[in-house]
Structure formats: structure tokens, C-alpha cells
Structure 1
């Protein structure tokens, strides 16, 4: 089944792939020159991933660190640019290493062109996973 091409449908599809822990299919939704940014990343953590390969490397072990269970409270806002969405949601699950609950709020600004994600600005709080042994966001600096 081909990936949806409307930005909102593509985004919903991307969340399903994350819940299914299908990181290769999630990465396949990206344009080759896609850009992922983390404006709130603390010093020493990645703030910018340029290109599909960098994004794939960063996300490769995501399910080994965060076991996502759901994205409640999903709200997708359309902008004056039909390619760009503003998304509000919560991500819930658990941190794999400690089995601690994971529950954090996200705001993302996502642009889709030609059926592929081209930019994704992720305004999440990386401190939500900062605990002894939680190294998901630091490992791919």
C-alpha cells in the first residue's frame, strides 16, 4: 500500500509506523534531503539532522529506548501553506531500560512535499527521557 500523500494523512500514517516500531518504513516517508530539528535540545544533544541517512541513524534504535503505546490528544492544525502542519499531541509509553512511564507533550511543525516529509521541527522536551541510563537522545550526537 503506498503511503498517503496529504500532509495530515501522511503524518497520521507516520505515527502508526512509530507505534508499530517500523522505523525503516517511517524513515522511508522522508525526502532524501529531509531536515529534522530539535530547537529545545540541550547542549551536547543533536539539534539538527540533515538528510534521510542521518535521520535513519538517529531513529534506528528508538524502539530500544522508548516503547510507545499511543499518541492521545492528537490535534493537527492546517496552516496557510497547504504543505505545512502544526501538530499537538502527547506521546505515551514507557522507557525501556528503566520501565518508567513515558508521557510527554509534543508540538511539531511538519512540511510535506511530493508525498515525503521535508522538514520536521520537533518541539519536545528531551529532559522527559533524561534519567540514569536513558541515553536515547545523546547516543547519536
Structure 2
């Protein structure tokens, strides 16, 4: 099982503590398409834990609908395309959201996580602006 497989399984299992343990203490998480007023960069596992604190109360991931992992010429970098399906907790509305993530992994831990998700799609699912 690859690290991305494990990470997605943890999200579907709602194991945020386990998910966070996949990140190095000094990991950098980036959201290049972040909604206005939301962070584009988070430094450190502790800051990421704070950012994700309410995540399970927003999106109830239930299924990995599709997943493709692309290896690159750099063995530390992988690109993953995946689609998650579930229920938006507040609205009880079903959703399917697509993600593209660029991972840098060293010594078995995520050092950099660039998440190219769509804030517009999430806003539509949650029914709230600027998530």
C-alpha cells in the first residue's frame, strides 16, 4: 500500500489523528486555489491539525470513487488524482469532489502536500462561502 492509499483510507475511516501522523513535524501544506480569506500555506503538523480540526464535521467521506497515482522522475514526488464521495454534514447533501495532490515524501513522511481542490465545488456542496 502506498502512502497516498493509506492517507485516503484514513480520511474515509475518519481517522484524522492517523492522517496527521503521516506528515513530518515541519511539513508544508499548500492550497494554490484557496478561497479568499483562507490560508494558501500551512507550516507544520500542529498548524495543519488546527486547520483540519473541524474537517470531519464538514465532510463525511464515505468512498474513494477513483484514484490514479502518477510517479515522477523524482522518487520523492508523486501526483495523485482522486475523487471522494460522501455526505456534507450540515446539509446532508451527497457530494463527489475531485482532487489533485502533489506529494513530496521523504523518510516515509509527507514533507510537502500541495492540494489542488476547488473551493467553488466545496462551497456548493456545503452551502457556505469561503471554505
Instruction: Tell me if TM exceeds 0.5.
Output: yes
Equivalent in the alignment of 1:66: 59
- Is 1:93 the counterpart of 2:86? The answer is yes
Q: For residues 113-139 of structure 1, what are the alpha-carbon distances to aligned partners after superposition, in whole Å with 9 as ceiling and x for unaligned? A: 0010011100010122215754783xx
Please give the secondary structure, in 2, of the residue aligned with 1:74: strand
User: 2:130, 2:59 → 1: CA distance?
Assistant: 8
Indicate whether 1:21 and 2:9 are aligned.
no
Give 1:123's aligned residue. 116
State the TM-score, normalized to the length of structure 2.
0.92
In structure 2, list runs of 5 or more residues that go unmatched. none
Q: Does 1:105 align with 2:105?
A: no
Aligned residues, how many?
130
Residues in 2 aligned to 1:118 and 1:93: alpha-carbon distance in whole angstroms: 28
Structure 1 length as normaliser, TM-score? 0.86
Query: Which sections of structure 1, spanning at least 5 residues, go unmatched?
Result: 1-7
Q: CA RMSD in A?
A: 1.7
Judge conservation of contact 1:97–1:134 (CA < 8 Å) in 2: no
